[in-house]
Structure 1
Amino acid sequence: MLHPRIHEVTQRVITRSQQSRQAYLERIEQAKKQTRVRAGLGCGNLAHVMAACSSSDKARLKADEQPNLAIINAYNDMLSAHVPYKEYPDQIKAIAEKFDATAQVAGGVPAMCDGVTQGRDGMELSLFSRDVIAMSTAVALSHDVFDGVFCLGVCDKIVPGLLIGALSFGHLPIYFLPAGPMQSGIPNKEKARVRQKFAQGLVSREELLEAESASYHSAGTCTFYGTANSNQMLMEIMGLHLPGSSFINPYTELREGLTASAVETMLKQLLGDGPVNSLADVVSEKTVINGLVGLLATGGSTNHAIHLVAMAKAAGVQITWKDMADLSEVVPLLTRIYPNGSADVNHFQAAGGMGFLMRELRDAGYLHNDVKTIVGEGLDAYTQEPVLDVDPTLIMTDSTGPAKVKWVDCPADSLDDEVLRPVSNPFNKQGGLQLLSGNLGKSVIKVSAVAEQHQVVSAPAKVFSSQAALQEAYTRGELNQDFIAVLKEQGPKAKGMPELHKLTPVMASLQDEGFKVAIVTDGRMSGASGKVPAAIHLAPEAVEGGPIAKVREGDLITLDAPKGELVLHVSDEELAQREIELTEVGPTFGTGRELFSGFRNIVSSADLGASAFGIEE
Structure 2
Amino acid sequence: MTCQDTISRVTDRIRERSESGRAKYLAKIDRAIEQGPGRAHLTCGNLSHAFAAANPLDKEALATAKTPNLGIITAYNDMLSAHQPYETYPELIRETARSVGATAQVAGAVPAMCDGVTQGQAGMDLSLYSREVVAMAAAVGLSHNVFDSVVFLGVCDKIVPGLIMAAAAFGHLPAVFLPAGPMTSGLANAEKARVRQDFAKGIVGREELLKSEMASYHAPGTCTFYGTANTNQMLMEFLGLQMSGSSFVNPNTEMRAAITKASVERALQITNKGDEFIPFARIFDEKALVNGIVGLNATGGSTNHLLHLVAMARVAGIELTWQDFSDISAITPLLARVYPNGLADVNHFHAAGGLPCVVGQLIKGGLLHEDVQTVMGEGIEHYTKEPKLDEQGRVRWGWDSNVPLDPKIIATIDQPFQKSGGIKTLKGNIGEGVMKVSAVAAERHSIEAPVAVFHNQDDVKTAFQSGDLNKDVIVVVRYQGPKANGMPELHNLTPMLSVLQDKGFKVALLTDGRMSGASGKVPAAIHICPEACDGGAIAQLQDGDIVRIDANEGKLEILDPKVLERPVITPDLAANYDGMGRDLFSSFRKSIGPANKGAISSL
For normalisation by structure 2, the TM-score amounts to 0.98
Shift of 1:2: 6.8
Conserved? CA contact 1:168–1:314, under 8 Å:
yes
Question: For 1:209 and 1:576, how far apart are their aligned partners in 2?
Answer: 45
Question: For 2:525 and 2:164, how far apart are their aligned partners in 1?
Answer: 27
Matches within 5 A, 1:1-150: 3-150=4-151
Shift of 1:347: 0.8
Question: For 1:250 and 1:411, how far apart are their aligned partners in 2?
Answer: 22
Shift of 1:263: 1.1
Question: For 2:598 and 2:525, how far apart are their aligned partners in 1?
Answer: 17
Shift of 1:272: 7.1
SS for the counterpart of 1:502 is: helix
The alignment status of 1:492 with 2:493, answered yes or no, reads: no
Range with bigger deviation, 586-595 or 159-168: 586-595
Q: Does the C-alpha gap of structure 1 residues 166 and 270 become closer, same or farther in structure 2, counting only changes over 3 Å?
A: closer
Conserved? CA contact 2:360–2:402, under 8 Å:
no
Q: In the alignment, what sits opposite 1:468? A: 458
2:487 is aligned with what amino acid? M
SS for the counterpart of 2:271 is: helix
1:226 is aligned with what amino acid? G
1:34 is aligned with what amino acid? Q
CA deviations over 1:513-563 (Å, ceiling 9, x no partner): 111100000000110012100000000000110000001110011111111
**Structure 1 unaligned runs (5+)?**
396-402
The alignment status of 1:352 with 2:353, answered yes or no, reads: yes
Question: For 1:95 and 1:408, how far apart are their aligned partners in 2?
Answer: 22
Shift of 1:32: 0.1
Conserved? CA contact 1:352–1:410, under 8 Å:
no
Equivalent residue for 1:610, pick from 571, 594, 599: 599
Question: For 1:341 and 1:22, how far apart are their aligned partners in 2?
Answer: 42
Q: In the alignment, what sits opposite 1:584? A: 572
Shift of 1:271: 8.1
Shift of 1:156: 0.1
CA deviations over 1:316-343 (Å, ceiling 9, x no partner): 1111001111111111010110011111
Question: For 2:346 and 2:4, how far apart are their aligned partners in 1?
Answer: 28
Q: In the alignment, what sits opposite 2:470? A: 480
Matches within 5 A, 1:418-457: 418-457=408-447
Equivalent residue for 1:413, pick from 399, 403, 410: 403
SS for the counterpart of 2:104 is: strand
Question: For 1:354 and 1:502, how far apart are their aligned partners in 2?
Answer: 30
Q: In the alignment, what sits opposite 2:322? A: 321
1:586 is aligned with what amino acid? A
2:45 is aligned with what amino acid? G
- Could you say what the CA RMSD is over the residues aligned between the two structures, in angstroms? 1.1
Shift of 1:447: 0.4
Shift of 1:408: 3.1
Q: In the alignment, what sits opposite 2:587? A: 598
Shift of 1:245: 0.6
Conserved? CA contact 2:186–2:216, under 8 Å:
yes
Shift of 1:270: 3.5
Conserved? CA contact 2:356–2:402, under 8 Å:
no
Question: For 1:7 and 1:340, how far apart are their aligned partners in 2?
Answer: 28
Shift of 1:585: 2.5
**Structure 2 unaligned runs (5+)?**
none
Question: For 1:82 and 1:128, how far apart are their aligned partners in 2?
Answer: 19
Shift of 1:37: 1.2
Conserved? CA contact 1:312–1:319, under 8 Å:
yes
Q: In the alignment, what sits opposite 2:335? A: 334
The alignment status of 1:521 with 2:511, answered yes or no, reads: yes
**Paired residue total:** 601
SS for the counterpart of 1:435 is: strand
Shift of 1:380: 2.0
Question: For 2:12 and 2:423, how far apart are their aligned partners in 1?
Answer: 21
Question: For 1:25 and 1:58, how far apart are their aligned partners in 2?
Answer: 34
1:578 is aligned with what amino acid? R
SS for the counterpart of 2:54 is: coil
Question: For 2:380 and 2:40, how far apart are their aligned partners in 1?
Answer: 36
Conserved? CA contact 1:300–1:432, under 8 Å:
no
CA deviations over 1:29-80 (Å, ceiling 9, x no partner): 0000114211221111111101111212111111211111100000000110
Question: For 1:268 and 1:511, how far apart are their aligned partners in 2?
Answer: 54
Question: For 1:268 and 1:605, how far apart are their aligned partners in 2?
Answer: 40
Conserved? CA contact 1:73–1:151, under 8 Å:
yes
Q: Does the C-alpha gap of structure 1 residues 223 and 334 become closer, same or farther in structure 2, counting only changes over 3 Å?
A: same
1:532 is aligned with what amino acid? V
CA deviations over 1:98-139 (Å, ceiling 9, x no partner): 122110000000000000001110000000000000001111
2:498 is aligned with what amino acid? A
Question: For 1:110 and 1:363, how far apart are their aligned partners in 2?
Answer: 40
Q: In the alignment, what sits opposite 1:245? A: 246
Matches within 5 A, 1:267-286: 267-270=268-271, 273-286=274-287
Question: For 1:545 and 1:470, how far apart are their aligned partners in 2?
Answer: 22
Question: For 1:192 and 1:273, how far apart are their aligned partners in 2?
Answer: 51
Shift of 1:144: 0.3
Equivalent residue for 1:531, pick from 511, 521, 525: 521
Conserved? CA contact 1:298–1:432, under 8 Å:
no
2:529 is aligned with what amino acid? A
CA deviations over 1:567-616 (Å, ceiling 9, x no partner): 11112xx23420000112225110000000110011000000001121xx
Q: In the alignment, what sits opposite 2:388? A: 387
1:80 is aligned with what amino acid? S
1:372 is aligned with what amino acid? Q
Question: For 1:236 and 1:42, how far apart are their aligned partners in 2?
Answer: 38
Question: For 1:149 and 1:576, how far apart are their aligned partners in 2?
Answer: 51
Conserved? CA contact 2:487–2:513, under 8 Å:
yes
2:460 is aligned with what amino acid? L
Shift of 1:273: 4.7
Q: In the alignment, what sits opposite 2:159? A: 158
1:142 is aligned with what amino acid? S
1:114 is aligned with what amino acid? D
Stretches of 4+ aligned residues off by more than 4 angstroms: none
SS for the counterpart of 1:104 is: strand
2:599 is aligned with what amino acid? A
Question: For 2:554 and 2:277, how far apart are their aligned partners in 1?
Answer: 43
Question: For 1:166 and 1:285, how far apart are their aligned partners in 2?
Answer: 16
Range with bigger deviation, 496-505 or 581-590: 581-590
Shift of 1:81: 0.4
SS for the counterpart of 1:486 is: strand
SS for the counterpart of 2:452 is: strand
Question: For 1:464 and 1:273, how far apart are their aligned partners in 2?
Answer: 59
CA deviations over 1:143-198 (Å, ceiling 9, x no partner): 00000000000000000000001111101110000000000111101000000000
1:582 is aligned with what amino acid? T
Q: In the alignment, what sits opposite 1:203? A: 204
Question: For 1:79 and 1:369, how far apart are their aligned partners in 2?
Answer: 36
2:571 is aligned with what amino acid? T
Conserved? CA contact 2:238–2:291, under 8 Å:
yes
SS for the counterpart of 1:270 is: coil
Shift of 1:269: 3.4
Q: In the alignment, what sits opposite 1:183? A: 184
Conserved? CA contact 1:167–1:280, under 8 Å:
yes
SS for the counterpart of 1:70 is: strand
